Chains A and B, each alone.
Chain A
Amino acid sequence: DGGITQSPKYLFRKEGQNVTLSCEQNLNHDAMYWYRQDPGQGLRLIYYSQIVNDFQKGDIAEGYSVSREKKESFPLTVTSAQKNPTAFYLCASSIATRQGAFGYTFGSGTRLTVV
C-alpha cells in the first residue's frame, strides 16, 4: 500500500540536543511538507520541497533544517536553536508541486517532547 511513514512515533529530546525525524513516502509525489501542530492549534508550515535537492522555508523555519536528497525522503532536524520544540510534527506529500493544488497525504506524525 502506498503511503507516508514517519518515525519514530514518539521522541524525547534533552535540552541542547539535535534530533532528526524521518519521513518516507512511496506515493511518487514530488512535493513534501513538514508541519508543526500544537495543542488546540492548526497546522503551521516549517519547510517544504517541490523537487529533489531543493526546499523552501515555511512560516516557522527557525531552529529547523531539512534535506531532500531522494524523492522518497524528507527528514526534518530539530536543532538546539529551536526554543520550544515540544509539539506534534506532521509530514505530508502531494502530487502537485504548487502548494494546495491537490489534497495532501499526511503521515501518522511524530510527538516530540523535550525532557
Chain B
Amino acid sequence: GQQVMQIPQYQHVQEGEDFTTYCNSSTTLSNIQWYKQRPGGHPVFLIQLVKSGEVKKQKRLTFQFGEAKKNSSLHITATQTTDVGTYFCAGTGNQFYFGTGTSLTVIP
C-alpha cells in the first residue's frame, strides 16, 4: 500500500547549524501535514500544505510541498536546543499515513 517515507531517520547537528528532513510518497498526495513530538511527549500539529509548490514559514521553520505533490521538506535554520524532537510528516494519498519520522538531536 501507499506509504510515506521519511529521511533521514536520525540527525545530530551542532546548535546553530541548519537541519532538513525529507518526506517522499510513491503516490500523489492531496495534502501534507507536519508534526513535532518532543522526547517523552506527543505529536503536535505544526502545519498543513495543500498546493503544488507551496512554501510556508513559521519563524525559523520552512515547509515546502513539491511541484508533483509527492514530496515535502521541513528546513530549520540555525537550530536551537528547543528544536530537539522527532518530526513527522503525514500525507493523504489513497489513505492518510504518517511518515516514519526524523529524530533531531541538537548538540549545545
- Decide if B85 is an interface residue (CB 8 Å cutoff): no
Contacts of B92 on A, CB cut-off 8 Å? 99-101
Residues of A in contact (CB 8 Å), total 18
SS class of chain B's interface: helix, strand, loop or mixed? strand
Interface contact A42-B98, CB-CB below 8 Å: yes
- Decide if A75 is an interface residue (CB 8 Å cutoff): no
Contacts of A100 on B, CB cut-off 8 Å? 31, 33, 90-92, 96
Residues of B in contact (CB 8 Å), total 22
Interface contact A99-B95, CB-CB below 8 Å: yes
Interface contact A42-B48, CB-CB below 8 Å: no
User: Could you tell me which residues of chain A, from 71 to 115, have a CB within 8 Å of some CB in chain B?
Assistant: 90, 99-109
CB distance from A12 to the nearest CB of B (A): 18
Question: Which residues of chain A have a CB within 8 Å of any CB of chain B?
Answer: 35, 40-44, 90, 99-109
